[in-house]
Each structure stands twice: as structure tokens, then as C-alpha cells.
Amino acid sequence: MFMTSLFHASGGLIYHLRALRHARRLWQPYRAAVAGWLADWRPDTGHLLLLGPSGGYTLPRDFLGRFARVTAVEPDPLARLILARRFAGLNLDWETPGADLLDPVRRHPGAAILFCNLLGQDWRGTGGESARTARLARLRADLAGRSWASYHDVVSSGVAPMFHGPLRDDAATLESLLAHFWTGGELPLVDHGTHPLGAGRPADYVLWRLAPGRYHLVGWVTS
């Protein structure tokens, strides 16, 4: 099924060690931007479905506490443990991913859906631009009528940007978006293939300094 190619089990131990080391300082501007986006997202339901939350390093308790029930879909057992400890006291339950990314979404027709930096994780260099755009169009169609939101890697690079955002951009082209963050010239980068997810509407962006010398441009799109 094509949806399985939207993700892979990124994260794991290295990711948790990175979070331990960098979440409080290096990741802080990114976490603050995500917190702001989530604060403004007001789905009209008491049930939230989290896809790929890892240890919840980017999820504020205040935000999750707005929901009577939170279902986390996360294959990494260590992430589950960390998440459960971090959010003890919340009504949190668990599910294992299905064969298709949207299986949990179909199981919970009344839930709002949050893709927690999951989309685009397995897209590096796979398929051409038109194939990736078609996959995202299909994803949007499958989510029609649902309340959903996603933060996701757009590009990543080892080159330090001149600007870190946050920024709202009309997202006309990926090139015009990148020009806000990096000066001209050749820019070695990985395109995570998610830029078309916004379907041409203005979207929000921020720089995530994942580790020294590793920069991810993260986008935020809501239904």
C-alpha cells in the first residue's frame, strides 16, 4: 500500500538521546513554535489521535490536556514509556500502527488527527516530484472531512540558515520558501517531499536545529 512509504521507524534510541541532550536548549525555539501552532489549532472533538509522537518532546501538556482522550500511535516501545511518564495523569491510550498509515485514522472516525513530524520521513530521494505530489494529494483526499494537522520536515541541510523563523509563507514554490531562510547559491539539502501538503495555501514554517550542524525546516499545515 502506498501509505506505508510515507514513513519509516525514524526515531529510536539515537533520537531519544538527542532529545535528552538538546530538547531543552537547542530545540527550544522549534518547540515553542510548535506549541504556538498547537495552541491555535482548535478541533471540535474531545478525542485526539497522535501519529508518531515519539516521547512527546514537542507536545505541550496544556495542549494534550484539552482532550478528554488521547490515543497515541507509536511503534517505538521506548517512546511509549517516555510518553506515558511525561504525561502521567492524562487519559492516554496506545495503538500499534497498521499496515497502512491511515488504519488508525479509520478506526477512530470521531478523532482529530495530529501527524507529529511523521509525514515525509521516508521520502528522501524516493520517487519524482510529481509522484510525491500525487501521494500527498491522495492523503489529503483520504482525510477529507476530518480535522487534521501536521508538522513535518520540509527540507534538511547541514548549511546554517541566515533566518530561523517562524514565518508564514504563501508557499508559491519551494525555492521561494527556501530563499527566506538561506542565502542564494548552491544549497546541499534533502527534500522531504512534503512542501505540496499545504496544497498551495499559506503555511507556517520554523527552523529546527536538530543537532549542531543539522538544520531542518519544519512546516505546519492544518485541514
Tell whether residue 7 is a contact of ligand SAM (CB under 6 A): yes
Tell whether residue 73 is a contact of ligand SAM (CB under 6 A): yes
State the Cα–Cα distance between residues 197 and 109, nearest whole angstrom. Answer: 21
CB neighbourhood size of 38 (10 A): 20
Tell whether residue 52 is a contact of ligand SAM (CB under 6 A): yes
Helix (H, G, I), strand (E, B) or coil at 138: helix
Name the CA dihedral angle for 37, 41, 47, 48, rounded to a multiple of 10 degrees: -30
User: Smallest distance, Å, CB 126 to ligand SAM?
Assistant: 15
Tell whether residue 150 is a contact of ligand SAM (CB under 6 A): no
Binding mask 91-120 for ligand SAM (x = CB under 6 A): ------x---x--------------xxx--
Stretch that binds ligand SAM, among 74-82, 84-92, 129-137, 163-171 (CB under 6 A): 74-82
The H-assigned helical ranges of 7-159 are 12-22, 28-40, 61-65, 77-86, 103-107, 129-142
Please give the residue ranges that form the binding site for ligand SAM (CB under 6 A).
7, 9-11, 51-54, 57-58, 73-76, 79, 97, 101, 116-118, 121
